[in-house]
Structure 1
Amino acid sequence: MKVLKATILMGSVMASTALHAQSNVQIYGIVDVGVEYVNKAQVSSTGTATGSLAKVTSGNAAASRFGFRGREDLGDGLSAVFVLENGFSANNGTLANNGRLFGRQSYVGLAGKFGELDVGRETTPIFDFGALYDPMIPARFSALTLDAAFASRADNAVRYAGKFGGLTLSTLYSFGFDSTIVNGGQIPGAFQVGKETSVNVNYQLGNVLAGALYDRQNGTSIATEQNTDERMALGISADFNPVKLYAAYQRRNTRTAPITATTNLFWVGVSYNPIPAVTLDATAYSYDPAGPSNRTGMYSVLGSYALSKRTDIYTVLSVMRNQAKAVMALDGTVNPGDGQTGLQFGIRHRF
């Protein structure tokens, strides 16, 4: 009997150890904080006076965050996966993403030879597209300044991602992309309200990567469910190590029945790594909404120097040029037609 008990106990310990060995959880994150200066920031919402603004800011080169990611081996090449990712402002310790605890990502799913299928709050294929084809992203003075959707997440989402040779695919369907509205857009009998459909397809051929994006969001109430916000984009990059070139075009159609407004966004960029510790990124953008004198040009440069594998210091310079009616700003608010220059210095640590 003693031998039997000892055998059972040893078996239990071995089983527990085996299960532990098949699972892992990782804590990770980025802390990014620096000093920012911009000129011609509007002093008053009704006045024309402008002034310079200097402040400490978080997430200049990459948004500050911490998270937990885990994977459990289920056998036969199948794994359970999860991610819980929090965004915060390192300059004051407050939560980002409208105060959500895990506002950047919170999902669980299954991964295997078929790819990965996840359910929860997740980054969109628009996010994927921007990260692949704009060398300035995830810096703030990037395509993010001109279209915040390049950092978008969707609530109540089902997402699939897979790789098949040189082809990669990410696709998402959300039952209600914004839970800050009533019912998160999930209203009984209103099957179009708050829905988002998105897909990004990319193909790698040698040193060239090319991709296409389609994304569509419906209005977030029964009264606006026929309204749509639609994005279509094409991108290409070519890697000539240590130089990498980028170009992308996005067409956005915003329909508020019966009117559809179109915005065109185009950029070209370059990334250069002269030595392993130094990275130089630069992108020129053309932002062209419908209507006369609304065009904006933006030109951004980022330089970083790695102090270690985890820590780097950086500087970002960006210049915004608005036509007479345009009011795009790097930070704050500008008067119509005013340009703006922004400069950032900071330190970023990854863990």
Structure 2
Amino acid sequence: MKTPIAILLALAAAPVAAAPAAAASAAAQSSVTIYGVADAGLVLERGGAGGNVQALSSGVASASRIGFKGKEDLGGGLSASFVLENGNNIDTGAAGQGGLLFGRQAYVALSSTTLGAISAGRQYSPYYKALRDIADPFVVGLAGNAMNMIATTGRVDNSVEYQTPRVNGFSADVLYGFGEVPGDTAKSRTIGASISYAAPESLPLNVVLTHHQRDNPLATARSRSTMLAARYRVGDVTTHASLSHNQDLLARASNDALIGATLAVGQGKWMASAIFHRDQSTLEQHARQLAIGYTYNLSRRTDLYTAYAHISNRNGAAFHVGNATDNGTGTGGFNLGVRHVF
């Protein structure tokens, strides 16, 4: 049986060993790129039920990965593209995402300069992209990861996504994930959407309104999340904010607010955020996360990072400080590591 690494190497070498027809097709490809992230760091956790944890972890700031992406110009403003992205843990060499070969992303797309883009496969939800790109100063990584407290579905299997072109600063993103249950289209179904505005360069403002919902396997319950997020830059300072309303499959509702900022200083960048979770049930299981972090660029591709976050749980709330790949076990977390992007 071929190992995942052997399959990855075979894919990378395929254009060289391809048959003439396949070679001609590969030659027509406008671009094919192999890319990735190698990230490893020290993680210290405090306040967990099982005691303190000291670990060398992979993917603390950004999940370690290797990916393949390509794009072909079909003419007339139309192009085809694909992404195949494998997650891996460089501390152990094991595959990420439960051992899936391309568990991070796997999709094919058609794009038009005038009509937008449609893609199909395993891909990120609009809600997750809004949280990562607009709301969270930590870009859902390090100890300050907003997903420590603001739950969402990152990737959606069996999904089709349509993204409109940007017109006068506005664009929309709609995703439908097929439940693929015989006889019932609602079971395990996922629906996501967002509408966003990106201001001209003279006013560096980004705003997005997004919604995500998923039915359980029996279609008897549905989780829902709605978020308004904004990002605004003035000089070297970027401010972040979001408000969200969430309801899980047990109909437990919460309101979550995030405020944060990033400050560019020389070759480095400071990040800070505060997240407030307000439980809407009679249990009042509220929580708060405070986080601060710093990254220092050794080069265009390599940086050092450190971060600290602490969560205060009330009345039995059980949130943990995690990072880009680990959910965490404690209420306090410290990171120190290095990230290389290639």
Q: TM-score, normalised by structure 2?
A: 0.85
How does 1:110-149 map onto structure 2 within 5 Å?
110-113=110-113, 114-131=115-132, 132-141=134-143, 142-149=145-152
- How much does 1:17 deviate? 8.1
Q: Count how many residue pairs are aligned between Structure 1 and Structure 2.
A: 308
Cα deviation 1:106-156 (Å, max 9, x = unaligned): 011101112211011111101211122111123143111123426x10000
For structure 1, the 5+ residue unaligned runs are 1-12, 44-50, 177-185, 335-339
CA distance in 2, matches of 1:77, 1:208: 28
CA distance in 1, matches of 2:140, 2:249: 28
SS in structure 1 opposite 2:100?
coil
The amino acid across from 1:209 in the alignment is N
SS in structure 1 opposite 2:152?
helix
Q: Does 1:189 align with 2:183?
A: yes
The amino acid across from 1:204 in the alignment is A
Where does residue 249 of structure 1 map in the other structure? 243
Q: Does 1:95 align with 2:95?
A: yes
Where does residue 278 of structure 1 map in the other structure? 268
Where does residue 6 of structure 1 map in the other structure? none
Where does residue 8 of structure 1 map in the other structure? none
SS in structure 2 opposite 1:164?
coil
CA distance in 2, matches of 1:122, 1:232: 19
- The structure-2 alpha-carbon separation of the partners of 1:314 and 1:19, relative to structure 1 and needing over 3 Å to count, comes to closer
Where does residue 17 of structure 2 map in the other structure? none
CA distance in 1, matches of 2:149, 2:99: 23
Match of 2:204 among 185, 191, 207: 207
| Deviation >4 Å, runs of 4+ | 16-19
Where does residue 32 of structure 2 map in the other structure? 25
CA distance in 2, matches of 1:168, 1:90: 37
CA distance in 2, matches of 1:213, 1:69: 27
The amino acid across from 2:268 in the alignment is V
- How much does 1:246 deviate? 1.0
CA distance in 1, matches of 2:329, 2:282: 20
Where does residue 164 of structure 1 map in the other structure? 167
SS in structure 2 opposite 1:98?
helix
CA distance in 2, matches of 1:144, 1:158: 24
Where does residue 5 of structure 1 map in the other structure? none
Where does residue 55 of structure 2 map in the other structure? 55
CA distance in 1, matches of 2:28, 2:187: 44
CA distance in 2, matches of 1:345, 1:333: 17
Where does residue 315 of structure 2 map in the other structure? 324
- How much does 1:286 deviate? 0.7
Contact 2:39-2:337 within 8 A present in 1 as well: yes
Contact 2:135-2:258 within 8 A present in 1 as well: no
Contact 2:29-2:70 within 8 A present in 1 as well: no
| Greater relative CO, 1 or 2 (CA 8 Å, sep 6+) | 2
CA distance in 2, matches of 1:305, 1:249: 30
Where does residue 44 of structure 2 map in the other structure? 37
CA distance in 1, matches of 2:312, 2:249: 27
Contact 1:85-1:102 within 8 A present in 2 as well: yes
CA distance in 2, matches of 1:294, 1:18: 57
Cα deviation 1:232-262 (Å, max 9, x = unaligned): 1111111102001111011012354xxx321
- How much does 1:264 deviate? 1.4
- How much does 1:20 deviate? 2.4
SS in structure 1 opposite 2:321?
coil
CA distance in 2, matches of 1:347, 1:333: 22
SS in structure 2 opposite 1:149?
coil
Where does residue 309 of structure 1 map in the other structure? 300
SS in structure 2 opposite 1:62?
coil
Contact 1:327-1:333 within 8 A present in 2 as well: no
The amino acid across from 2:220 in the alignment is Q
- How much does 1:22 deviate? 4.7
Contact 1:305-1:314 within 8 A present in 2 as well: yes
CA distance in 1, matches of 2:147, 2:26: 42
SS in structure 1 opposite 2:232?
strand
Cα deviation 1:10-57 (Å, max 9, x = unaligned): xxx9xx8897265211001111110011112222xxxxxxx3211001
SS in structure 2 opposite 1:235?
strand
Cα deviation 1:194-220 (Å, max 9, x = unaligned): 111100111123222211011111111
Q: Determine what percentage of the aligned residue pairs are the same residue.
A: 29
